[in-house]
Structure 1
Amino acid sequence: MRTLIKTQSAALAVFAAAAFTTVTTQAAETLSVVTFGGAYEAAAKKAYFEPFTQATGIGFSTESYDGGLAKLSAMEQAKNTTWDLIDLETNDAITACDEGLLQKFDRKSIGKTSDFIPGTISDCAVASMVWSTVYAYDASKLKTAPTSINDFFDLQKYPGKRGLRKSPKVTMEWALIADGVAPKDVYKVLATPAGVDRAFKKLDTIKQNIVWWESGAQAPQLLADGAVVMTQAYNGRISDAAQKDNKPFKSVWDAQVYDFDWWAVPTGAKHADAAAKFIVSASQPKAYADLSKYIAYAPPRKDAIALIDKQRLADLPTAPDNFKRALQINANFWADNADQINKRFQVWLTQ
């Protein structure tokens, strides 16, 4: 069984040396980074990239993607890795580490590891933030505000289109919770054939009203265009649209599914030493607190909380009022079952 936290091996010593190596600043040295783009990348540039460049002279070139390991795996097989740093969802971080697609990381290099939320440091990666999938609506268009995940599935009370990421992940969990499964029991139910059937049956009730999106930036745009009444979205994207673009968007936190994003260095990265140094820099309390300033994602390091404005804390996934019925995504479940469920999901889409 895959597990995120593993016993450190002797191989860590090799990467530890890289993490502590003083990187020689060269004018031509640039880290090639792949992230999820959009509002998050813009925030990462301010909180992580620009301060690191100022301190070291090392620059960044960025590329956007929507997750997955196909391209990273192809690079490793061809022995031509063009990325130096990669932003990963948790189940991809687990799988990539298990398959040797990521270099080992020395957790001691980032300081006091007890300050981190349990499970946010692995042999190959360090969490960059805590984010959440919520659903959002345009408050100027709904007379009665939705308050629960059940409302998302209620086409009689709230007629209209629903936006969903074109992935079974989170969508399946929401279907079960809306069908009466307690958040704590979701993965126990989803691990059974009957549970998978139950999730698809619930999704059938709104299938004809679903507008699928694939990029995080599309979710708030669907709301802005009036293409959907409600949409699944990353919480930071909705907060960003509301605060920076003055959109009348509101998030519903009931049944939010939270996860971590991870920084890691691909195997064969051409600037591995500089990328390791960057991860150490980005894992410090001030850097985490600065990220929350620019986008509503929470720090995985507890000692960063004191550095965040109290008003901003209320917008974060981990705020007490937002966390009442939160579900942490079971990354091990998805690492083990994603292929099988994805295949059925793709068939379901065509039916």
Structure 2
Amino acid sequence: MIKKDCVGHLHSGLSRRSILKSTAAFLSAPFVAKATAAWAQEKLAGSGEVVVFSYGGSYTQGVRKNVYEPFTKATGIAVVDVTADIAEPQVRAMNRAGRVDWDVALVDGQNYPTMHEAGLFQPIDYSLWDDEALKGAPQSARLSDAVVAFRSTTLLAYDERSFLKGGPQNWADFWNVKAFPGPRGLSAVARHMVLALAADGVPNSDRWPLTDDKVDRALKKLAEIKPNIAKWWTAGGEPVQALINREFVMTSCYDGRALSAIRQGAPIRMVWSGGNLVYVYWTVLKGGPNNANAHKFVAFLNRAQSAAGFTLGTNLTGPNVNQLLHLPANIVPLLSITEENASQVVPQDDAWLAAKRPDGKTNVDHLQERWLAWRAQ
């Protein structure tokens, strides 16, 4: 495996410390299917390389072992990974300069709409996908020029040691400090104020768009719980570590972080009800040096066994539900793509967040202003 750069940072949904041990365990798990050349139909065979953006650290370690190496073994195409904090600024810069050095990038759902409108991505070649991958990944995950790489849910997580007779079951319980006493944690990300709407009884179907009246309602609800918030966390690894250290009894948390900790034996329980679901997409960059190989890479990633390897190696869950057949039974109930868990979470409205208001600001910028003003009170 070739590596061009080593910034060594992770995406906000990952944690080196929290997943290092579990990643190592996953790499040796007998459940990971061994890829063979038979996996790749003739149409995926090739030569040369494909240059792929990576978050670095444990993410890169896991995805190399479980996905990249099997891809190369099956197709003959080498994977060159380049690492950085996030891909979007560099993708835009390469496009402006007229020199695109990468082939495949991970793009956050919140950034996808504007980059799509700017024409930065190639249409995905779905003719390379096998029937199983097309059936396993829902149509909503297969956009014209992007494919969901993984789902990340901000959900409620709690310390089982603090609630031996049963813990909170929803966000209304998070606000119920009498029935469930103890210090809490909440994300400092502005859009996560939607969790307060869940606590205030807003139906999942009415959560988005986050109009001004809903923002008012969310901030009013947050004022009720504010005295019980021990910390507004900013780094993705903080809430899990605070639960383990008993600094929080419950907190909002990324599902991938909670999964990692649970796999290491942490006494943490995940509550999916009302979680905020976001997508991160695989994109094939227009003007990249190895576009043909890039499309083969994306097609391979979305096969069930490849998707299972990605989940085991990174603690992040891709959209192909057929991967559940290739995963350890104790992991399956902890994933966002099971029917039960998927039915309880609410997809974030990325198109609305990226849209501009009459004053020229995006909705996400407006939310940030409202949020910071409220926090300063």
- Paired residues of 2:147 and 2:283 also in contact (CA < 8 A): yes
What is the CA-CA distance between 1:302 and the residue it aligns to?
4.1
Change in CA separation of 1:237 and 1:207 when aligned onto 2, cut-off 3 Å: same
- Tell whether 2:221 aligns with 1:202: yes
Task: List runs of 5+ in structure 1 lacking aligned partners.
Answer: 1-19
- Paired residues of 1:255 and 1:325 also in contact (CA < 8 A): yes
- Paired residues of 1:293 and 1:312 also in contact (CA < 8 A): no
Moved beyond 6 Å, runs of 4+: none
Q: Secondary structure at the match of 2:141?
A: coil
- Paired residues of 2:66 and 2:310 also in contact (CA < 8 A): yes
What is the CA-CA distance between 1:309 and the residue it aligns to?
4.4
- Distance in 2, matches of 1:38 and 1:141, equals 32
The residue identity in structure 2 corresponding to 1:129 is F
- Paired residues of 1:299 and 1:305 also in contact (CA < 8 A): no
Partner of 2:5: none
- Distance in 2, matches of 1:270 and 1:160, equals 54
Partner of 1:187: 208
Q: Secondary structure at the match of 1:254?
A: strand
The residue identity in structure 1 corresponding to 2:194 is E
- Paired residues of 1:23 and 1:273 also in contact (CA < 8 A): no
- Paired residues of 2:87 and 2:106 also in contact (CA < 8 A): no
- Distance in 2, matches of 1:131 and 1:302, equals 15
Partner of 1:164: 186
- Tell whether 2:145 aligns with 1:124: yes
Q: Secondary structure at the match of 2:128?
A: helix
Deviation readout 1:104-151 (Å, 9 max, x if unpaired) = 322222233354212111122112234422121222234441221112
- Distance in 2, matches of 1:161 and 1:271, equals 51
Change in CA separation of 1:323 and 1:130 when aligned onto 2, cut-off 3 Å: same
Q: Secondary structure at the match of 2:185?
A: strand
- Paired residues of 1:296 and 1:315 also in contact (CA < 8 A): no
Q: Secondary structure at the match of 2:142?
A: coil
In the alignment of these two chains, the number of paired residues is 323
- Tell whether 2:58 aligns with 1:58: no
- Paired residues of 1:135 and 1:231 also in contact (CA < 8 A): yes
- Tell whether 2:346 aligns with 1:327: yes
- Paired residues of 1:128 and 1:288 also in contact (CA < 8 A): no
Any residues of structure 2 matched to 1:99-248 within 5 Å, and which?
99-112=118-131, 113-143=134-164, 144-169=166-191, 171-187=192-208, 190-191=210-211, 193-208=212-227, 209=229, 211-243=231-263, 245-248=264-267
What is the CA-CA distance between 1:160 and the residue it aligns to?
4.2
- Paired residues of 1:49 and 1:60 also in contact (CA < 8 A): no
What is the CA-CA distance between 1:282 and the residue it aligns to?
0.6
The residue identity in structure 2 corresponding to 1:125 is A
Partner of 1:45: 64
Farther-moved stretch of structure 1 (47-56 vs 234-243)? 47-56
Farther-moved stretch of structure 1 (274-283 vs 160-169)? 160-169
- Distance in 2, matches of 1:343 and 1:75, equals 30
- Paired residues of 1:69 and 1:92 also in contact (CA < 8 A): yes
Deviation readout 1:201-252 (Å, 9 max, x if unpaired) = 2222233525233443333223233333322222122111111x22111111
The residue identity in structure 2 corresponding to 1:149 is W
CA RMSD of aligned residues (A): 3.0
Q: TM (normalized to structure 2)?
A: 0.74
Deviation readout 1:74-124 (Å, 9 max, x if unpaired) = 443344545443222323223321222333322222233354212111122
What is the CA-CA distance between 1:63 and the residue it aligns to?
2.5
Q: Secondary structure at the match of 1:205?
A: helix
Deviation readout 1:246-268 (Å, 9 max, x if unpaired) = 21111112212334331113344
The residue identity in structure 1 corresponding to 2:174 is F
- Paired residues of 1:47 and 1:288 also in contact (CA < 8 A): no
Farther-moved stretch of structure 1 (297-306 vs 84-93)? 297-306
Q: Secondary structure at the match of 1:227?
A: coil
Change in CA separation of 1:185 and 1:133 when aligned onto 2, cut-off 3 Å: same
- Paired residues of 2:277 and 2:347 also in contact (CA < 8 A): yes
- Identical pairs, percent: 26
- Paired residues of 1:39 and 1:237 also in contact (CA < 8 A): no
The residue identity in structure 2 corresponding to 1:319 is T
Partner of 2:38: none
- Distance in 2, matches of 1:217 and 1:323, equals 23
What is the CA-CA distance between 1:285 and the residue it aligns to?
1.9
Task: List runs of 5+ in structure 2 lacking aligned partners.
Answer: 1-42, 356-362
What is the CA-CA distance between 1:200 and the residue it aligns to?
1.6
Q: Secondary structure at the match of 1:206?
A: helix
- Paired residues of 1:317 and 1:323 also in contact (CA < 8 A): yes
- Paired residues of 2:122 and 2:286 also in contact (CA < 8 A): yes
- Distance in 1, matches of 2:175 and 2:309, equals 36
Deviation readout 1:321-341 (Å, 9 max, x if unpaired) = 434533222232223232322
Partner of 1:24: 47
Deviation readout 1:274-330 (Å, 9 max, x if unpaired) = 333321211112211333444655442344444344443222223344345332222
